[in-house]
Amino acid sequence: MHKADFHTHTTFSDGRNSIREVIEAAAFASIEVLAITDHFDPNDYRPAIAGLTETALLHHFQSIREIARDYDMEVLCGVETTPLPDGTLALSPAVIAQCEVIITSCHYIPYDGELQPGEFFNDRYWSMYKDCMLAMAAGKGHILGHCEDYLPIERFIQGLGTTYPQRRSICLEIVKRYLDRPYIEKLAGNLKKSGKMCELHCATQTPREWVVRMLATEGVRFTPGSDAHAADQVGKTEWAYHSASMVDGFLCTERKDFYGQR
């Protein structure tokens, strides 16, 4: 098994460090297989991300490949993206063909009702979220990203000035309340059918242990991801290795685990 980190960001999207700094940090953390997976999503609510062009992305991949030559490490070029609500990738065939790793994560949902800041427990909103996640689990892409944290709470916290730990505890409450066993069973079934892997998200140490266990029992495979947005977080994937071994889950840590399944 290799030491891998399949979820990292650079200044191309919202990361703090350059490609070289991220690769350098991965080398320092003894990472053998690294994926650089910047946000790429034409429908993102952040204009700086929605505005990234395909040409810029392909140029970014070229830079990654050039810089990677200076290191004794496998570096994969990929993206993190939110699919359409039916699970279809919102990426062109040209982009899909160039991506070695595609992480699909839910950063927003197309909910058109009223949302009140601070009123997180909106049944209709979270029911729509679960539908999007189930479609995503059944759809294309390699990895289901942060499926039990970094939930789309943006519209609930607008103007509240929350801290990172506060947002984590808000997500935890929502997860406890809405992501119940019947939903996880369906999620596991869809992942199993599509062959999409589930990320063990090391920044938040999610999904919950019983969820990892249930997915593992269904034969769903896992990937380690730090979701590093700064160099000092790159390669911090130990939790994934620990977590997968605790439940006897299969952790994918090689380039070949990403062949096919786009």
Residues between 90 and 109 that touch Zn ion (CB under 5 A):
105
Cross-strand pairs, 8: 228
- At 228, phi and psi to the nearest 5? -65, 130
Among residues 198 and 213, whose Cβ is nearest to Zn ion?
A: 198
Within 8 A by CB and 6+ apart from 180, the residues are none
Quote the tokens at residue 233.
Answer: 């977080």
Tokens of 232: 């000092």
Size of the site for Zn ion (CB under 5 A): 3
Nearer residue to Zn ion within complex by CB, 13 or 194? 13
How far is CA 159 from its chain centroid?
A: 26
Nearer to Zn ion, 105 or 237 (CB): 105
- For Zn ion, which residue of 31, 227, 231, 257 counts as binding (CB under 5 A)? 227
Q: Which of residues 104-143 bind Zn ion (CB under 5 A)?
A: 105
CB of 69 to Zn ion, least distance (A): 25
Q: How far is the CB of 225 from Zn ion (least distance, A)?
A: 8
- 21's tokens: 């700094």
CB closer to Zn ion, 185 vs 232: 232
C-alpha–C-alpha distance, residues 89 and 101, integer Å: 13
Positions in the binding site for Zn ion (CB under 5 A): 80, 105, 227
